[in-house]
């Protein structure tokens, strides 16, 4: 899969993954496999998904996020979402997934989940 779909940064073994554009049925399953192969299966299970560059997400992608969260948790890690624009926040609220995911406003806030205040 081409890595144009996202970029990554590593801060003290917390992986910040920044998908860009749309996460939908055309690319969400590839994204999931890529993250599972290159991160979760490599033991890189503390992940912040910065969704600030994502302008659209569909039900397939929501399912992928739930699956990635489960994979991280089962491997002893944590998945935190951050940077959701108002339209994405509305989708998470309508689907009640805002109570399923750990969500923060910014990368800085998300890092506090891992490193404390």
Q: pLDDT tens digits for 11-37?
A: 999 999 999 999 999 999 999 999 999
Complete DSSP assignment for 8-56: EEEETTEEEEEE-EEESTTTHHHHHHHHHHHTGGGT--EEEEE-TTEEE
Q: pLDDT tens digits for 32-55?
A: 999 999 999 999 999 999 999 999
As a whole number, the mean pLDDT across the chain is 95
**Residue 117 clears pLDDT 90, i.e. is over it:** no
Domain at 3-110, CATH from 3.50.50.60, 3.30.750.24, 3.20.20.100, 1.10.4160.10: 3.30.750.24
What is the reported pTM? 0.95
Domain boundaries, the chain: 3-110
């Amino acid at each position: 899969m081409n890595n144009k779909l996202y970029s990554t940064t590593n801060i003290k073994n917390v992986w910040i993954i920044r998908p860009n554009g749309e996460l939908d049925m055309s690319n969400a399953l590839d994204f999931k496999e890529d993250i599972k192969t290159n991160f979760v299966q490599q033991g890189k299970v503390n992940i912040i998904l910065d969704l600030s560059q994502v302008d659209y997400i569909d039900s397939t992608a929501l399912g992928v996020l739930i699956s990635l969260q489960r994979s991280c948790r089962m491997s002893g890690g944590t998945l935190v979402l951050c940077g959701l624009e108002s339209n994405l926040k509305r989708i998470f609220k309508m689907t009640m997934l805002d109570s399923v995911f750990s969500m923060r406003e910014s990368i800085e806030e998300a890092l506090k989940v891992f490193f404390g205040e």
